[in-house]
Amino acid sequence: MQLIAHRGRSAAGHPDNTLAAFAAALGEGADMVECDVHRLGDGTLACFHDDAIADQPLAQLSHGELETLAGFAVPQLAEVAQLCRDRGAGLDLELKARGCAVDALDAVDGLTDLWVKSFYDDIVREVLAAQPDIHVGLLLGVPRGGLRVRFGELFPVRRLRACGARFVAPNWRLLRLGFLRRMRSAGFPVLVWTVNDSRQAQELAAAGVAAIATDRPAELRAVLEPRA
């Protein structure tokens, strides 16, 4: 099972999605780091969670403008990939924007442990069109959604097969009504996010999930089985 640091080790005082947060997480026992990627107005693939800052869409900002507004160094995807190569770590890459799959995969070329995921079915298809053998998954757990949306997330097999996903990444709140059992039966590995409770992490590891994303890699590593 892989232990993934959600946006790095931000709980240690580092801004999310920064090289310092990623390095700190790997130093605390994370197997992989998770980063969010947007394409900026100047074409840069930047690791940043929100799609806007100070009411300005990232798609209209240059890298320098984003860093000025953020108040810290915002890494480019290629920099994060190089950190993972240097540290022998894996990368869990969330694509936030359409139309950047080809460039994103070029930036992370050479990583031996790469997971790519998105909330958008068409982005999953875009990734597969760019690299058919990639380990790509569908994220579940949108912040807002009615009964129909939640039902589709609780019972996603048809959707997963339709978009070609190789794994499923649900928020931990969706682990109801036999979700893990049904995913296992359908052949989809499960990456659960964002798990910060040690007991829950132990239970999920025992249940055979493929990966857990957490804000607390050191604490969860301490209670999970040591890495091989």
Q: What is the pLDDT along the chain (228 residues), one digit of tens a residue?
A: 999 999 998 766 789 999 999 999 999 999 999 999 999 999 999 999 999 999 999 999 999 999 999 999 999 999 999 999 999 999 999 999 999 999 999 999 999 899 999 999 999 999 999 999 999 999 999 987 788 898 999 999 999 999 999 999 999 999 999 999 999 999 999 999 999 999 999 999 999 999 999 999 999 999 997 554
Domain definitions of the chain by residue range: 2-36+88-223
What CA–CA distance (Å, rounded) separates 218 from 43?
Answer: 35
| Domain spanning 2-36+88-223, CATH architecture | Alpha-Beta Barrel (3.20)
HSE at residue 133, side-chain half, CA atoms within 13 A, is 2
| Category of 25 on φ-ψ map: left (φ > 0), alpha (ψ -120 to 50) or beta | alpha
What CA–CA distance (Å, rounded) separates 60 from 74?
Answer: 16
Nearest to 220 by CA among 25, 21, 16, 17: 25
CA 102 and chain centroid, separation: 17
